[in-house]
A = this chain, B = another copy of it.
Amino acid sequence: MLGVCYYPEHWPESWWAEDARRMRALGLTYVRIAEFAWSRIEPEAGVFDWDWLDRAVATLGAAGLKIVMCTPTATPPKWLVDAHPEILPVDPETGRVRGFGSRRHTDFSSSLWFDAAMRISEAVAARYGDNPHVIGWQTDNELCCHDTALSASPAARDGFRAWLRTQYADIAALNTAWGNVFWSMEYRDFDRIELPVGAVTETSPAHRMAWRRYASDAVVRFHTEMVAIIRAHSPGRWVTHNFIPMPETGVDNHALAAPLDFASYDNYPLGRADLALAKAPAADLRPWMRTGHPDMQGILFDQTRGLTGRPFWVMEQQPGPVNWARHNPRPAPGMVRLWSWEAFAHGAAVVSYFRWRQVPFAQEQMHAGLLRPDSSEAEAWPEIAQLAGELAGLELPEPGRAPVAMIVDIEAQWLSDIERQGAGYDYNAIVAQWYGAVRGLGLDVDFVAPGADLSDYALVLAPALAMPGSDVVARLRDTPALVVIGPRSGAKTRDVTIPDGLAPGPLRALLPLRVLAVETLRGDCAGEIRRDCDAYGSLGWRESIEAGDCTVLATYEDGTPALLRNGRVHYLATLTDDAFLAAMLTDLCGEAGIAVTPVTDGLRLRRRGDLTFAINYGDEPVLAPAPDGAVFVIGGRTVGARDLAVWR
């Protein structure tokens, strides 16, 4: 099913009905509205103007569209800021207030802001909660976008102090847990603790980790309360949130998604490729500058699906050039349809485009829509028309479980920021590299949280489990799958200290080895990892291992252990090049009974129920790796450039 994002307040009311008619004619089912409309809903404190929105809902609904209603809390109006400047956040890097003039100018720690946000949410929910055209809700918009999870405001400092009191109860316990004796950093009282910002040199990693947890909890608390308010007023409707890329929220995304019916994602392949490959040579960017990188959408579709385990929405899909990357190319012909199909292949229930009509004013006036500002059809229009037709002719089965699970661990990501140790160590890059290696074998991946049930997988990968709890250790012990655990796992206790008995700490129950030392190297000064007769690159992060009872499967250039195994569980003690990962995973899939289909260049495979999708990001046709006798429901055995084939 398809949808679109619409802002009736941006257009003359006389246009609404015709817009709605054209939406339906194009084959769209859903329309999302009102996410930034606070200043029109409540132009002055306590003075509400519902009339225009009532009429917009009625007009869209009358046309047969199902409405996704939003809480408008991403853009509080100026009168609120003027009345309560304390709601503004403070930049932790500079100490400067982040002011009005764009969006997200609010501090999750501010109780004034919390109350104001819940009040407007309740007003909207009460007004439209049982409106028959309203099918579901989106909370806020892209929570934590623009690095807004962390603030260094007085409210944040006070909130952090209160939160620490709940976590540690007495100050001596905190001092001990954090090791504050180290540099005479001991506190006498929770009310004397500062935020870990603006110090002369680096602050304690325990201090910074606690701050991250506090900030994440504040966002989750804010969001959970908002969901509860919506549910109280809108029985029978679902609630979702449109996530930015999960690694960028700065928040425990699983906790954020917990109260939702399903998660949504805002998919902007070209902006992401431009930024992710900003320092890559032209030869690496050019093939993907108008398509996006073949793995960068799938990984986020899979992560979004993994947040709830249920089919997700793409709430915003780029339909043309955007305005916010350093360079903003046009999508290659066919890509808007192809990205949409790729989302469905990865388990999307709905793909919704951002936005209906390019708006000729303000910050995003160079962001394409389905229509140009003059209401003419923009480039993506025929692709969506084609897609709508294709979807009408094909019932999509429920997405199933993948053979491979990857455990993503927000605290490993935070540790990667907090304790750099090696400048090239980047948790998210490691997850992306491992994901790419699995996808290169033609396999589907499920992303799961650290405590998730692993009993139905054949292969479980944990690129880094920095501070494993007893739950994940138990899950890894109990799964019948082969398991690969990456370096820096079990490296820390919950309070960011080295575990008793050294790393991998509680994982020693599975892997009776010890990490004796860690070295980090510059990216261009790699060492080797040797496996059978082959040598590969050992990169960046290298641990010296005492093997204990483990079997050594690969070694460093000096013969010491680099990959070890105990039972079904492997420990990879170093970051490696792609070739090593591919070789290791190919063997493990063989042992686990997972059939691999290596793919190259722009081709990616993905199954949904009994359907197999072959997505070709490349600019040359490729042969679909379909079995003899495959029944093609879309396309055929030769998959065109920027096209797809689907078979049973």
Q: List the one stretch of A70-78, A231-239, A563-571, A587-595 in contact with chain B.
A: A70-78
In the assembly, what is the distance between CA of A363 and CA of B183, in Å?
A: 9
Number of interface residues of A (CB under 8 A): 112
Quick check: A184 and B519 within 8 Å, CB to CB?
A: no
Q: How many copies does the complex hold?
A: 3
In the assembly, what is the distance between CA of A130 and CA of B584, in Å?
A: 64
Indicate with 1 or 0, residue by residue over A42-85, a CB within 8 angstroms of chain B CB atoms: 01100000000000000000000000000010111111001000
- Interface check A524, CB cutoff 8 A: yes
Output the nearest chain B residue to A492 by Cβ-Cβ distance. Answer: B365
- Interface check A421, CB cutoff 8 A: yes
- Interface check A516, CB cutoff 8 A: yes
Indicate with 1 or 0, residue by residue over A402-421, a CB within 8 angstroms of chain B CB atoms: 00000000000000000111
Interface residues of A in 139-186 (CB under 8 A from B): 145-146, 148, 178-186
Q: List the one stretch of A193-201, A252-260, A465-473, A479-487 in contact with chain B.
A: A193-201
Shortest Cβ distance from residue A237 to the other chain B in the assembled complex, whole angstroms: 24
Quick check: B374 and A501 within 8 Å, CB to CB?
A: yes
- Interface check A131, CB cutoff 8 A: no
In the assembly, what is the distance between CA of A76 and CA of B199, in Å?
A: 13
Q: Which of B39, B198, B207 has a CB less than 8 Å from the CB of A186?
A: B39
Q: Which of B38, B194, B372 has a CB less than 8 Å from the CB of A100?
A: B194
In the assembly, what is the distance between CA of A207 and CA of B422, in Å?
A: 40
Interface residues of A in 501-536 (CB under 8 A from B): 501-502, 516-522, 524-525
In the assembly, what is the distance between CA of A544 and CA of B368, in Å?
A: 13
Q: Which of B77, B105, B184, B358 has a CB less than 8 Å from the CB of A200?
A: B105
- In the complex, what residues of B have CB within 8 A of residue A518's CB? 321, 328, 366
Highest count of chain B CB atoms <10 Å: which of A98, A200, A419, A524: A200
Indicate with 1 or 0, residue by residue over A313-333, a CB within 8 angstroms of chain B CB atoms: 000000011010011111000
Indicate with 1 or 0, residue by residue over A359-389, a CB within 8 angstroms of chain B CB atoms: 1111111101000111010110000000000
In the assembly, what is the distance between CA of A96 and CA of B329, in Å?
A: 37
- Interface check A392, CB cutoff 8 A: no
In the assembly, what is the distance between CA of A372 and CA of B503, in Å?
A: 11
- In the complex, what residues of B have CB within 8 A of residue A179's CB? 10, 359-362, 365
Q: List 14 A-B contacts (CB under 8 A).
A: A75-B184, A182-B359, A185-B362, A203-B363, A204-B363, A206-B362, A274-B522, A282-B522, A286-B525, A321-B520, A328-B422, A328-B518, A328-B519, A330-B544
Instruction: Report A's interface with B, CB cutoff 8 A.
Output: 9-10, 36-40, 43-44, 72, 74-79, 82, 89, 94-105, 145-146, 148, 178-188, 192, 194, 196-207, 274, 281-282, 285-286, 289, 320-321, 323, 326-330, 358-366, 368, 372-374, 376, 378-379, 419-424, 495-502, 516-522, 524-525, 544
Closest 9 CB pairs between A and B?
A179-B361, A182-B362, A101-B199, A39-B184, A360-B498, A75-B184, A282-B524, A179-B362, A326-B423
